Structure 1
Amino acid sequence: MIESPYQPSPDRYDDGMIYRRAGRSGVLLPAFSLGMWHNFGSGQAFSNVQRMAHYAFDRGITHFDLANNYGPAYGTAEENFGRLMERSFRPYRDEMFIATKAGYDMWPGPYGNWGSRKYLTASLDQSLRRMKLDYVDIFYSHRHDPETPLEETLQALVDIVRRGKALYVGLSRYPLEAARFAFRYLAERDVPCLLFQDRYNIFSRQPETSGVLSLSAASGSGFVAFSPLAQGLLTGRYLDGIPQDSRMAAGRSLQREVLTDAMLERLRALNDIARQRGQTLAEMALAWLLRDKRVTSVIVGASSAAQIEDNLRALENASFSDDELARIDALSRE
């Protein structure tokens, strides 16, 4: 039963959001997608989860990115998304593009990890129950499994689509040669890879250097960037050292050893470029990703609706001069 009827903004598609085509497909995704890795699970008040999700949808963010073990604790981000579906989002399901994944640790024993048919199939069934959905729009193999035959993993994705449990499939963080094989295998079975996800930001350029960004585009796949702010390093929070309430101070996914004197100089120089552009460092870092038309969408995380609002300001200036790009390149590759 719906406790508090939600009416989304009537201007949600006329309020500045940009939509980009996912490779050679009929799917358009918002330039920014809401990532639910942190701050959407059991450690967060549901009222704030709801506030962030509603704000995102009100601003035209239609793509919600989840995985089976997002939380913390495992599964709780999907459970909270299921509560959102029951309480407010159900009437707008067809306006949403919902993603989940499997590939990392989820439950004990030999069948709760990696890329077997059994794990992928069972995990998606569990995810659908948690999210109160009949299907997801895209289901990802969250990482390449070097031990399971790749054909087994990929055929499980094909069969998941044919069973109607996902409309599309995607790959996340596959090495180049495995990705090349996967793109070909899936296309030959008429279930092409819609999206490839990878870590990509000013400091993490591997999708460029490995060739996977170019391969995705050539294969007709869209590309989705996650960790666009380098786990907070590019937010500007660390320009004057390590705040006591920061992720780095707590040692959560961003270690103190990263913030060397040389890194601090690079961050401050990048911040100077951003200031000259009339942006914060975070806004420039997000806009920098959108400069490349091969990037379909950028996943942003948040702990409040205000953070989502701040991120969306990057759309106001996503063009760069050749000189700006050269200066950013020099700083990012040092």
Structure 2
Amino acid sequence: MPPDAPTPRTDEASGATPDVGGPLPHRRLGRTGLTLPVVSLGLWQNFGEADPWSTQREIVLHAVDRGVTHLDLANNYGPPGGAAEESLGRLLARELRPLRDELVVTTKAGYRMGPGPYGEGGSRKYLLSSLDASLRRLGLDHVDIFYSHRFDPTTPLTETIGALATAVRSGRARYAGISSYSARRTAEALRVAEQVGVDLVVTQVSHSMLNRWIEEPDPHDPAGASVLDVAGAEGLGVVAFSPLAQGMLTDRYLDGVPAGSRAARGGPLRPAFLSETNLAHVRRLDGLARAHGRSLATTAILWALRDERVTSVLLGASSTRQLDDNLAALDAPALSAEELEAVDALPSDTGINIWASRSSDL
């Protein structure tokens, strides 16, 4: 934040508006005219009903104040589903209202959101009704990017991508994207998008030093291309989520599972992921990071951004301090050849990609 920029008030009654801080580095989103900050804020975790509203508010306003203008959601983020969108909607109605045009607000649909046959999947009915519900929770007439959250083998791609086309044509979304699609399915989705007359401009995928599936050849792709190969060739932006492997690529789990951590709470970071084999990899990377004067988290963020095809990395935050620590990575020295070689020596699949069997392996 520039030295003369005002600090946002933290009392809700004030209705104070944050300034968009001094610009973070931006990258162009594929072939579009849109740019994103290289670090974006994901509201997947820490923005549910069990999390204090005051903390949620403080994190989002501080992020915007630091120049993190891309705020990423999905219909089922919470818990319960919809809670994260409702929380951001409260801020968009008050403190962030004057800044709406400076923000990139994105959401998705595809995973389980409600009971019955129309509560998940890639059908036109589910995607468009979900988008309408998301807009009501957010208090907006449009989102900037609407994603198909996962490939659905039970629904024709013409229907799924056609629903994205309707979202854009109707003005409910400015851009359309896909998430967790394999290289083969990404290429297929692009062909279908051309047929139905919509531009797919971005893919959102998990990517970290412990989960490098988007760099690996897709065995089902006729040309053996990777997700990054397809994105680069087709001009797709790439937004990488979980670059810290849900906290594994920090110092938090080096000596076991602390009370109150994601693993201890039974969240998506499963204790099985913290195997001795995986922890040995993490400790090795941590040692290299410290030898080069940086934290493991900083190294992980720099590593995820090393490829220019990656437009932005999505980071969660449980506090403003954690957010600031992560943003400090952008001022750190570039990774050494030794560090890059150490990551290359790791298995590309350490078994932590919880999305693979539900989309990216299909």
Question: Which of the five TM-score ranges fits, normalised by the shorter chain?
Answer: over 0.9
Contact 1:4 1:88 in 2 (8 A): no
* 1:42, distance to aligned residue in structure 2 (A): 1.2
Q: Which residue of 2 aligns with 1:219?
A: 234
Contact 2:158 2:196 in 1 (8 A): no
Q: Which residue of 1 aligns with 2:305?
A: 290
What is the CA deviation profile of residues 11-48 of structure 1, one whole-angstrom value per residue up to 9, with x for unaligned ones?
x134xx11010001101001111000111121112111
* 1:254, distance to aligned residue in structure 2 (A): 2.0
In structure 2, the gaps of 5 or more residues are 1-11, 219-225, 351-362
**d(CA) in 1 for partners of 2:38, 2:324:** 14
SS at match of 1:331: coil
Q: What is the RMSD of the two structures over their aligned residues, measured on CA atoms?
A: 1.6
**d(CA) in 1 for partners of 2:347, 2:67:** 31
**d(CA) in 2 for partners of 1:109, 1:50:** 33
Question: Alignment length, in residue pairs?
Answer: 330
Mapping for residues 272-311 of structure 1, pairs under 5 Å:
272-311=287-326
Q: TM-score, normalised by structure 2?
A: 0.88
Residue 239 (structure 1) aligned to one of 234, 254, 262: 254
What is the CA deviation profile of residues 213-248 of structure 1, one whole-angstrom value per residue up to 9, with x for unaligned ones?
110121111001111111111111111122122222
Mapping for residues 1-334 of structure 1, pairs under 5 Å:
3-9=13-19, 12-14=21-23, 17-209=24-216, 210=218, 211-317=226-332, 319-333=334-348
The letter of the residue matching 2:304 is L
SS at match of 1:218: helix
* 1:185, distance to aligned residue in structure 2 (A): 2.3
Q: TM-score, normalised by structure 1?
A: 0.95
**d(CA) in 2 for partners of 1:223, 1:41:** 26
In structure 1, the gaps of 5 or more residues are none
**d(CA) in 2 for partners of 1:153, 1:280:** 41
**d(CA) in 1 for partners of 2:200, 2:329:** 28
**d(CA) in 2 for partners of 1:148, 1:318:** 46
**d(CA) in 1 for partners of 2:90, 2:330:** 30
Contact 1:193 1:221 in 2 (8 A): yes
**d(CA) in 2 for partners of 1:98, 1:263:** 34
What is the CA deviation profile of residues 164-216 of structure 1, one whole-angstrom value per residue up to 9, with x for unaligned ones?
00000000011222210111222455521121011100010100003011101
**d(CA) in 2 for partners of 1:318, 1:104:** 38
Contact 1:198 1:225 in 2 (8 A): yes
The letter of the residue matching 1:183 is L
Deviates more, 1:268-277 or 1:245-254: 245-254
Cα distance change on mapping 1:318 and 1:36 into 2, 3 Å: farther
**d(CA) in 2 for partners of 1:217, 1:91:** 35
SS at match of 2:40: strand
Contact 2:299 2:335 in 1 (8 A): no
SS at match of 2:248: helix
What is the CA deviation profile of residues 49-95 of structure 1, one whole-angstrom value per residue up to 9, with x for unaligned ones?
11000110011101000010100111011011110011211110000
Deviates more, 1:246-255 or 1:201-210: 246-255
Deviates more, 1:249-258 or 1:202-211: 249-258
Deviating beyond 4 angstroms after TM superposition, the runs of 4 or more aligned structure 1 residues are none
* 1:331, distance to aligned residue in structure 2 (A): 3.4
Contact 2:18 2:96 in 1 (8 A): no
The letter of the residue matching 1:330 is A
SS at match of 1:257: helix
Deviates more, 1:80-89 or 1:309-318: 309-318
Contact 1:286 1:314 in 2 (8 A): yes
Which of the pair is proportionally richer in helix? 1
Deviates more, 1:253-262 or 1:162-171: 253-262
**d(CA) in 1 for partners of 2:272, 2:121:** 30
